[in-house]
Amino acid sequence: MGTETALGVLPAGTANVWAQELGLPGLSWTRWSALEESAHRLARGQVQQVDVGLCNDKHFLLWSGIGIDAFIVHRIEPRKQWEKNFTVMRYATSAVWNASQWRGIDLRVVADDLHVEGKFMLAEVSNIRLYAGGFATLSPEASLDDGLMELWLFEGENLEDILQQAWSLWSGRHVNSKRVQYMQFKEIILESDTPIYLQLDGEPEVGGKQVAIAVLPKSLKILIPDKAPRSIFQADPQKG
C-alpha cells in the first residue's frame, strides 16, 4: 500500500473470489492452466488504484464480516491444505450445523450521520460485489475505487431466519428486502455488549466489543487483467 508496486493475484486460493471479481479463470480440477492463463492476462493488463479497508488497525480488501459468517470461520479455521479442496461441501455442512447454534447479535451501528440498532444475524462490510465463495452477489453496485464501502445488515436470530436470509441473498432479493438494511460509508463503528466474532477477507480475527472501520481511498495499486469488468471501477486504469 502507498507504493508504486502493483499487486497481481493468481487464483490459487480457496474460493478465488477476488479472481472471480476481476474475471480471471479459477484454478480447478478441470482447469489446470488457470494460473498460466491468469499470469498472461495480468502481464497484458493495466494498473488500477483501489480502496482498502482498515478494521481495528488491520487492513482488508474484500470484506469485514460480523455475525454468522465470522462465527463459522472461527469454527472451521485454521484448516489443513487438503481440506480446502472440499471448500463448498465443508463450508455448507459447517454453516448448517453452526447456524443451528447461532442466536444473532445485538449491534449498535454508527456510520457517518446514521445510527442503527437491532438484532442481526450478519453485518457485512463489502468492498466488492461478490460474496459467499462467489456464489452470491452481495453488493451489485459496489465500486472498488469510489472511496466508499457498503454495509449490509441482515436481521435474524435463529436457523429459520438464517435459511430465509440465505435464500434471499443467493436469489438477489435481499436488495429489496424489508429485513435487510443497507448503507454506504467512509467510517463506521459497530458495538455490542458481548464479544464480536469478526472475519477479514475470510480469515478469523479478534473483534472485542467494538469494531471501527475506515475506508482508505485508492491506497493500493493492483494489476487488472485485460477484459476486466469496467463496471467495478469508476476511474480509468493506468498503463502498466
Res 237: pLDDT: 82
User: pLDDT-derived band of residue 79, with 50, 70 and 90 as boundaries?
Assistant: low
The three three-digit cell numbers of residue 27, written as one number: 484454478
Q: Is the pLDDT of residue 90 over 90?
A: no
pLDDT tens-digit readout, 39-77: 999 999 999 999 999 999 999 999 999 999 898 888 776
Helix axes 68-76, 87-99, angle to 10 degrees: 120
Instruction: Answer for the pair 142, 128: CB distance below 8 angstroms, yes or no.
Output: yes
Q: Is the pLDDT of residue 97 over 50?
A: yes
Q: Is the pLDDT of residue 173 over 80?
A: yes
pLDDT tens-digit readout, 196-227: 999 999 999 988 999 999 999 999 999 999 88
pLDDT tens-digit readout, 100-137: 777 889 999 998 778 999 999 999 999 999 998 888 99
The ranges assigned to domains in the chain are 51-219
Q: How far apart are CA 155 and CA 36, in angstroms?
A: 43
Instruction: Answer for the pair 91, 98: CB distance below 8 angstroms, yes or no.
Output: no
Can you give the C-alpha Rg of the chain in angstroms? 18
Q: How far apart are CA 142 and CA 146, in angstroms?
A: 9
How far, in Å, are 69, 170, 209 from residue 164 at the CA level? 15, 10, 27
pLDDT tens-digit readout, 219-232: 999 999 988 888 99
pLDDT tens-digit readout, 25-43: 877 778 889 899 999 999 9
Q: Please, how many CA atoms are within 13 Å of residue 15, restricted to the half-sphere of its CB?
A: 19
Q: In this structure, are strands 180-185 and 63-67 parallel, antiparallel, or unpaired? A: unpaired
Res 83: pLDDT: 53
Mean pLDDT of the chain: 89
Instruction: Answer for the pair 106, 196: CB distance below 8 angstroms, yes or no.
Output: no
Instruction: Answer for the pair 200, 63: CB distance below 8 angstroms, yes or no.
Output: yes
Res 82: pLDDT: 45
Instruction: Answer for the pair 126, 53: CB distance below 8 angstroms, yes or no.
Output: no
Q: Which fold has domain 51-219?
A: Tumour Suppressor Smad4 (2.60.200)
- The predicted model gives 7-28 an average pLDDT of 88
The three three-digit cell numbers of residue 171, written as one number: 436469489
